[in-house]
Amino acid sequence: MADRKGRAAIVTGAAGMIGSATVRHLRQAGWSVLAVDLREPETMEGVTALAADVTDPVQAARIAARAANLFGHADALVHIAGGAGPTRAPDLASTDLDIWNHVMALNLTSAFLLCRALVPPMREAGFGRVVLLSSIIARGEKGPPTTVAARLPYAAAKAALEGLTAQLAKDCAADGVTVNAIAPGLILGEQGTRIRDRFEALPETERARMLGAIPAGRAGTADEAAGLIAFLLSPEAAYLNGATIPVNGAA
């Protein structure tokens, strides 16, 4: 199909800053959306909200079943849910197995579970779009952890996610399915969002150091990440497959 009318997408992490911006961009492009988050996201016309834990295999299957009930199947998966967890673990010694397993489940295992549930119907239909969320941290970060709570497992999970992206794209390309990832740098949302709160809690010298390390001289916005995601779901992106695209102001 040359246009997006009638297409349906699942967006996880839809209550967050990039997730909510992505839902808005997809609706403007004509997509119907199933918006998924641990807490039920706000909705708009053309959007159905679902509260679910993406690390739970049973709930991942429930997301797929809900999409099948609503749309027949989802044409696209945008998996934004993730993060470095709630517990600050600045180094190897402070990263216990529970922290490691939680961050891995939140970022990597959840992507596997959702792709396993949602990609086979896309392949059968001969069309699909998958966008996963990596991070600039996948290549490591020098200095003390800043807005990232448990940096070591987070970096490992995001790097592994890029490998999942590359291999799944090769497995699915012949069936009309593209699998790409974006790797944001510092993206700041509005006042009261989690990353902005963590950023603003840092000493002024540390905030200045972080911004000074970005050649663009500023943090990115949720709309800048969401605009790229919307493009990756478009017909114009059909030959872009298996890529991890940085969104980081040339950092």
- Which one from 4, 154, 160, 229 is the annotated catalytic residue? 154
Domains of the chain: 8-243 (3.40.50.720)
For residues 180 and 130, is the Cβ–Cβ distance under 8 A?
A: yes
Identify which has the larger pLDDT, 202 or 247. 247
The reply to whether 154 belongs to the active site is yes
Q: With 80 as the cut, is the pLDDT of residue 145 above it? A: no
Q: Is the pTM of this model over 0.85?
A: yes
Indicate the pLDDT class of residue 5, thresholds 50, 70 and 90: low
Q: With 70 as the cut, is the pLDDT of residue 222 above it? A: yes
What span, in angstroms and rounded, lies between the C-alpha atoms of 111 and 128? 15
For residues 216 and 165, is the Cβ–Cβ distance under 8 A?
A: no
What span, in angstroms and rounded, lies between the C-alpha atoms of 235 and 124? 18
Segment 82-109 mean pLDDT = 96
Q: What is the pLDDT of residue 189?
A: 77
For residue 79, give the 3-state DSSP assignment: strand
Query: Amino acid identity, residue 5?
Result: K
